[in-house]
Amino acid sequence: MAPMLEVKNLRVSFPTHRGRVEVVKGISFDLGRERLGIVGESGSGKSMTGRAILKLIRKPGLVTADRLAFEGIDILDQSEKQMRAIRGARISMVMQDPKFSLNPVMTVGEQIAEALVTHEKLPRHAVNERILSMLEAVRINDPKRVAGLYPHEVSGGMGQRVMIAMMLIPEPELLIADEPTSALDVSVQAQVLDIIDDLVTTKGMGLILISHDLNLVSRYCDRILVMNSGAVVEECAAGQLDQARHPYTRGLLAAMPTIDESRDELPVLDRTQWAGT
């Protein structure tokens, strides 16, 4: 059986006054019903990869690929209208900051309802039931009350859970989470990721978790791609991160301070080592 998502030689480029610059330089991977982590620092092209899969790269950005297919559908061939039917319903995306992703003048419940009914026609009471059970699924204690709140009345962690509820209620097959927790406190981060993890596993969805945090990704994913300046420099199973071979991955791991830190100086990445790879 073909994998759910096939990506072959994906390239994303933007024009600048010095000519076209590629931010994603030909990356390839397949994704089944599994959890894939894409790790990289700012400018590594990890977010662009996620957006390219949903065809969210706006002009003058240019996306090319030998193959970019979701369940056999060639994404690059789809019209904007066809993409709208895929986005949300079959592939969903959770963004970094809930403050900017939620509509400030609609209640939480209305927004989740909208996410649901645009993809599925349902009677009103069924919609309400689905919303409440979804809010429960993202571990919101008092779903009835929260559904009536406006985005500014909920905390960051709660907002992000609402976002996840919104993204998962149409029951997509693939969830792309782009730095879903970097705007949140450490203790809330774990909760939010646990929720995503739980839902993804029980519903048998695919997950692409995009993050700058190697440890976080290794904890929540099965497989990891490490990206640096637009290319995948390392691909490994999450458990084998400590055996990473590429100097960039090793450098990243070493540069992170630990709780029981005893080094007097942190090793700094020598960026010349793999320049050109």
Which residues are near other proteins by CB under 8 A? 41-42, 156, 185-190, 212-216, 218-219, 241-242, 251-252, 255-269
Instruction: Count the residues in the chain.
Output: 277
CB of 55 to other proteins, least distance (A): 23
The CA dihedral of 207, 203, 240, 10, to the nearest 10 degrees, is -20
Strands 67-70 and 5-16: antiparallel
> Would the CA dihedral through 127, 35, 159, 135 be positive or negative?
positive
What does each C-alpha distance from 241 to 38, 102, 226 come to in angstroms? 13, 35, 10
User: Is residue 175 within 8 Å of 92, Cβ to Cβ?
Assistant: yes
Instruction: Kindly tell me which of 259 and 275 has the beta carbon lying closer to other proteins.
Output: 259
Instruction: Kindly tell me which of 1 and 186 has the beta carbon lying closer to other proteins.
Output: 186
d(CA 144, CA 148): 7
CB of 85 to other proteins, least distance (A): 33
CB of 188 to other proteins, least distance (A): 8
CB of 126 to other proteins, least distance (A): 37
Burial of 197 (0-12, 13-18, 19+ CB in 10 A): middle
CB of 219 to other proteins, least distance (A): 6
Structure tokens at 87: 């986005």
Instruction: Kindly tell me which of 80 and 242 has the beta carbon lying closer to other proteins.
Output: 242
Instruction: Kindly tell me which of 32 and 267 has the beta carbon lying closer to other proteins.
Output: 267
d(CA 5, CA 35): 12
Instruction: Kindly tell me which of 51 and 119 has the beta carbon lying closer to other proteins.
Output: 51
Burial of 90 (0-12, 13-18, 19+ CB in 10 A): middle
CB of 186 to other proteins, least distance (A): 4
Instruction: Kindly tell me which of 2 and 266 has the beta carbon lying closer to other proteins.
Output: 266
Instruction: Kindly tell me which of 136 and 185 has the beta carbon lying closer to other proteins.
Output: 185
CB of 242 to other proteins, least distance (A): 7
